[in-house]
């Protein structure tokens, strides 16, 4: 297999070459072994939800057109699709729940390794949840917030508080009219499992409707809770420099990679990893120090807050082990390849699983308990130090690194556009209205060996910024952009159209803003709500000249994310089509008719340039509708005009 056909990333190419030479198997090899992949699965028309089946629909129309129970292609594909939403929403929301439990523990326990680091945000979030903040102690407010947030997961009456507190009023009306306002986080997921059980719902639109409700409970619920509480507990990120790619590993130091999605353990590992005692221990073992790096979204959580380098994105996790210098990889949950277990058997790397939800054959399990966080973190670091001496074989670190700026949030955008005294989204809205920025795009999502690794992300992003579209990014997409240097502020002059370059130069930002991990896609939602609230760009998110994309998506979480963007009014383009193409009515609904219901819709396009073109077209369509594509004369103000201007 030709490395350049597998990945766009130089470090990855180098490591793949090395892997082939060494006969080490990677995801790309296993992908090849899987081909040809099952056509029924790809088209979404295979059902094994009961033991009368498995049933499958003949996509050519010659064979069976219904399962044993009578489920059609549309029914089967819709059930499968919303079950993917359930999987994704469950992953994000369970992550949110764990953070909420940690938060509650931090509030209630006197001796705890966690504490409230962002009081301002605590008060802001609590106020949104309807909790009285004026004149109250932090602890009291936090206690109420913890209870309110935890109640959101399982409450039996009403709708999510956050679904009324964060989105623009016009958006809430859309949901109410359609009947998809989420009621509680767990309930919507459970109801998907119920509705897709044998003999329940078969109407594809009604099934999708529940998918919409569940994904909204993720984006504006579980994910949002994860983001908000993580900021309160670990500190709201601020713009910060970070390094990326496998070159951040250092042969002379003890290398520890934290991988997965949650910040609870990793943040503590960051805090203790440079303790003098541990550093001395490492030095005693012949290392120069302790080098911490991340992988996937766990990396993102600690790079957003501490500037800890990221060694790579999803498809690089095996390659990191192959460098021969990773003394320990600690994993929590999500996107951790089971292949790591056997791979670590071939190298000296210790693979440590830490979550009771995620045990991997071949890994050592050190269960992480929030009430003993520091102790566990130290224990893990010590294992890594001990393991330094066990290094064997050739060291193969690609000398490829890039640096960038991360740490942008819904909240700090205010500051960075106006300073402490004039904090505002106004400059953003203004420059969208005047056309310097045509619009904004969220480019997010995973890696997928079906696409050339990173190529989709980078090509699409470059095309967008060249056309003056500001890009925000999360997760593995953000890591791809960072590795390409697109998160350097210098990239603005190099890659952007003139208008976007001017704005980036004015604010001092890169053209691609790193807003965090995959639960932090909720930051994109809340940012869009703020843009609407700032005014001048319509009343609803669906009025905004924005689009979303996941050019290399693969996980169920990505389906939930894509769906909640669509349900929030955002046009969303993904490369690999959703597994529904065998269901013509469902496909037509998801990619077209749904726009009438929620203002957003899905589109599938594998070519990232074409996909970017579709996004640009959509953005211009929205600009036209807003009437901001008409060249306006500069308004000059006389005293009468000025008296009408607000000074609030």
Partner 1 sequence: MSKIIASAAIRGAHKIVKQAEEILSRAIEEKGKDCPVAFPNTGYYIPIIYSMTARAVEKLSDFEDVMREEIKPLLPKLVEDELWTPYLGPTLDAGMATLFAEEIIEACKYIIGPNPVDGIWLGAADDMILRERGIQFVDGTAPGFAAIAGAAPDVETAVEIARKLQERCLYVFMSAHRNGTTFAEQLAEGGVQLGWETRLVPFGREITSAIYALGFASRAALSFGGVKAGDFRRNLLYNKNRIFAFVMALGEVTDEWYATAAGAINYGFPTIADSDIPEILPTGVCTYEHVVSNIPHDQIVEKAIEVRGLKIKVAHVDIPVAHSPAFEGERIRKDEMHCEFGGQRTPAFEWLRMLDIGKVEDGKITVEGPDADSLEAGGKMPLAILVEVAGRKMQPDFEPVLERQVHTFMNEAQGLWHMGQRDISWVRISKDAFGAGFRLEHIGKLLHAMYHEQFSSIMDKVQIKIFTDEKQVLKLQEQARQVYAERDARLAGMTDEDIDTFYSCTLCQSFAPNHVCVVSPERPGLCGAYSWLDCRAAYEITPSGPNQPISKGKCIEPTIGQWDKVNAFVIKASGGGVERMSQYSMITDPMTSCGCFECIAAVLPSTGGIMIVNREFIEMTPCGMKFSTLAGTVGGGSQTPGFIGHSKHYINSKKFIAAENGIKRIVWMPTMLKEEIKDNFVKGADELGLGGQEFLDKIADETTANTEEEVLEFITKANHPVTTLEPMF
Select the residue interacting with partner 1 from 128, 155, 426, 606 (CB under 8 A). Answer: 426
With contacts defined by CB under 8 A, name the span among 221-229, 502-510, 556-564, 615-623 that binds partner 1. Answer: 502-510
With contacts defined by CB under 8 A, name the span among 104-112, 196-204, 233-241, 523-531 that binds partner 1. Answer: 233-241
Instruction: Kindly state whether residue 87 participates in binding partner 1, applying the rule CB under 8 A.
Output: no
Instruction: Kindly state whether residue 418 participates in binding partner 1, applying the rule CB under 8 A.
Output: yes
E strands of 74-228, at which residues? none
Instruction: State the virtual CA torsion across 302, 307, 312, 317 in degrees, nearest 10.
Output: -40
Q: Indicate the residue among 110 and 633 with the shorter CB distance to partner 1.
A: 633
Q: Are 249 and 323 in contact (CB under 8 A)?
A: yes
Q: Which backbone phi and psi does 328 adopt, to 5 degrees? A: -160, 140
17 Cβ contact list (under 8 Å, min separation 6): 3
Give residues 479-498 in contact with partner 1 (rule: CB under 8 A).
488-490
Select the residue interacting with partner 1 from 198, 240, 366, 626 (CB under 8 A). Answer: 240
Instruction: Kindly state whether residue 394 participates in binding partner 1, applying the rule CB under 8 A.
Output: no
Q: Which of 184, 187, 179, 182 is nearest to 216 (CA)?
A: 182
With contacts defined by CB under 8 A, name the span among 354-362, 376-384, 388-396, 402-410 that binds partner 1. Answer: 402-410
Instruction: Kindly state whether residue 405 participates in binding partner 1, applying the rule CB under 8 A.
Output: yes
Distance CA(415)–CA(365), nearest Å, equals 43
With contacts defined by CB under 8 A, name the span among 137-145, 234-242, 442-450, 617-625 that binds partner 1. Answer: 234-242
600 Cβ contact list (under 8 Å, min separation 6): 542, 565, 566, 567, 568, 569, 570, 571, 572, 594
370 Cβ contact list (under 8 Å, min separation 6): 101, 102, 105, 113, 114, 264
**The pairing of beta strand 326-331 with beta strand 310-312:** unpaired
Min separation Cβ 134 and partner 1, Å: 17
Instruction: Kindly state whether residue 239 participates in binding partner 1, applying the rule CB under 8 A.
Output: yes
Distance CA(476)–CA(519), nearest Å, equals 12
Distance CA(630)–CA(636), nearest Å, equals 18
Min separation Cβ 543 and partner 1, Å: 20
DSSP secondary-structure letter at 349?
P
Select the residue interacting with partner 1 from 10, 305, 436, 462 (CB under 8 A). Answer: 436
Instruction: Kindly state whether residue 506 participates in binding partner 1, applying the rule CB under 8 A.
Output: yes
Q: Are 46 and 54 in contact (CB under 8 A)?
A: yes
Give me the DSSP letters along 221-289. IIHHHHHHHHHHHH-----EEEEESGGG--TTSEEEEEEES-HHHHHHHHHHHT-HHHHHHHHHTT-S-
Instruction: Kindly state whether residue 596 participates in binding partner 1, applying the rule CB under 8 A.
Output: no
Select the residue interacting with partner 1 from 34, 274, 342, 434 (CB under 8 A). Answer: 434
Min separation Cβ 274 and partner 1, Å: 22
With contacts defined by CB under 8 A, name the span among 108-116, 184-192, 411-419, 552-560 that binds partner 1. Answer: 411-419
Instruction: Kindly state whether residue 634 participates in binding partner 1, applying the rule CB under 8 A.
Output: yes
364: number of Cβ within 10 Å:
15
Q: Indicate the residue among 401 and 585 with the shorter CB distance to partner 1.
A: 401
Instruction: Kindly state whether residue 401 participates in binding partner 1, applying the rule CB under 8 A.
Output: no
With contacts defined by CB under 8 A, name the span among 1-9, 323-331, 422-430, 584-592 that binds partner 1. Answer: 422-430
Min separation Cβ 211 and partner 1, Å: 38
Instruction: Kindly state whether residue 44 participates in binding partner 1, applying the rule CB under 8 A.
Output: no
Q: Which backbone phi and psi does 205 adopt, to 5 degrees? A: -65, -40
Instruction: Kindly state whether residue 417 participates in binding partner 1, applying the rule CB under 8 A.
Output: yes
Instruction: Kindly state whether residue 331 participates in binding partner 1, applying the rule CB under 8 A.
Output: no
With contacts defined by CB under 8 A, name the span among 140-148, 392-400, 429-437, 457-465 that binds partner 1. Answer: 429-437
The two structure tokens encoding residue 585:
């009515």
Binding site for partner 1 (CB under 8 A): 239-241, 403-405, 415-424, 426-431, 434, 436, 488-490, 502-503, 505-509, 634-639, 641-643, 645-648
């Amino acid at each position: 297999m030709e490395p350049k056909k597998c990945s766009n990333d130089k470090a990855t190419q180098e490591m793949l070459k090395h892997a082939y030479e060494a006969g080490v198997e990677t995801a790309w090899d296993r992908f090849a072994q899987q081909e040809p992949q099952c056509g029924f699965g790809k088209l979404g028309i295979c059902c094994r939800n009961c033991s009368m089946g498995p049933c499958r629909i003949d996509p050519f129309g010659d064979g069976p057109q219904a399962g044993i129970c009578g489920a059609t292609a549309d029914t089967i594909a819709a059930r499968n699709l919303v079950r993917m939403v359930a999987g994704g929403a469950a992953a994000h929301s369970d992550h949110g729940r764990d953070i909420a439990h940690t938060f509650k523990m931090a509030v209630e326990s006197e001796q705890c390794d966690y504490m409230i680091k962002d009081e301002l945000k605590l008060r802001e979030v609590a106020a949104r949840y309807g909790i009285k903040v004026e004149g109250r102690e932090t602890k009291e407010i936090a206690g109420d917030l913890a209870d309110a947030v935890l109640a959101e997961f399982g409450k039996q009456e009403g709708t999510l508080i956050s679904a009324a507190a964060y989105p623009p009023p016009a958006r809430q009306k859309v949901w109410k009219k359609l009947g998809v306002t989420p009621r509680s986080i767990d309930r919507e997921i459970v109801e998907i499992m119920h509705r897709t059980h044998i003999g329940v719902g078969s109407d594809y639109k009604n099934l999708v409707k529940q998918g919409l409700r569940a994904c909204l409970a993720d984006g504006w619920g579980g994910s949002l809770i994860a983001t908000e509480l993580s900021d309160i507990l670990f500190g709201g990120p601020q713009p910060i420099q970070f390094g990326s790619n496998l070159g951040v590993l250092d042969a002379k130091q003890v290398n520890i990679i934290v991988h997965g999605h949650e910040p609870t353990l990793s943040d503590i590992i960051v805090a203790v990893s440079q303790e003098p005692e541990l550093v001395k221990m490492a030095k005693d073992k012949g290392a120069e120090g302790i080098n911490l790096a991340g992988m996937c979204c766990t990396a993102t959580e600690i790079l957003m807050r501490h500037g800890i380098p990221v060694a790579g994105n999803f498809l690089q996790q095996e390659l990191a082990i192959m460098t021969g210098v990773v003394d320990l990889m600690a994993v929590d949950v999500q996107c951790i390849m089971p292949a790591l277990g056997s791979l670590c058997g071939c190298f000296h790397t210790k693979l440590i699983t830490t979550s009771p939800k995620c045990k991997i054959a071949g890994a050592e399990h050190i269960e992480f308990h929030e009430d003993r966080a520091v102790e566990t973190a130290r224990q893990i670091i010590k294992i890594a130090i001990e393991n330094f001496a066990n290094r064997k074989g050739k060291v193969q670190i690609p000398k490829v690194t890039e640096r960038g700026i991360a740490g942008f949030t819904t909240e700090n955008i205010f500051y960075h556009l106006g300073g402490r005294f004039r904090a505002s989204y106004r400059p953003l809205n203004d420059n969208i209205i005047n056309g310097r920025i045509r619009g904004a795009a969220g480019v997010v999502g995973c890696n997928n060996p079906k696409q050339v690794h990173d190529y989709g992300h980078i090509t699409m992003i470059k095309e967008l910024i060249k056309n003056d579209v500001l890009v925000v990014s999360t997760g593995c997409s953000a890591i791809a952009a960072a590795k390409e240097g697109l998160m350097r502020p210098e990239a603005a002059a190099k890659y952007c159209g003139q208008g976007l370059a001017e704005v980036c130069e004015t604010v001092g930002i890169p053209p691609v803003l790193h807003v965090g991990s995959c639960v932090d896609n909720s930051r994109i939602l809340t940012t869009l709500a703020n843009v609407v609230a700032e005014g001048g760009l319509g009343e609803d998110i669906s009025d905004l000249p924005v689009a979303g994309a996941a050019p290399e998506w693969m996980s169920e979480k990505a389906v939930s994310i894509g769906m909640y963007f669509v349900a929030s009014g955002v046009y969303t383009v993904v490369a690999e089509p959703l597994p529904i193409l065998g269901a013509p009515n469902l496909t037509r609904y998801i990619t077209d008719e749904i726009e009438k219901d929620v203002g957003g819709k899905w589109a599938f396009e594998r070519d990232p340039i074409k996909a970017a073109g579709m996004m640009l077209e959509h953005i211009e369509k929205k600009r036209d509708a807003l009437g901001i594509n008409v060249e306006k004369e500069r308004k000059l103000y006389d005293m009468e005009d000025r008296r009408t201007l607000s000074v609030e």
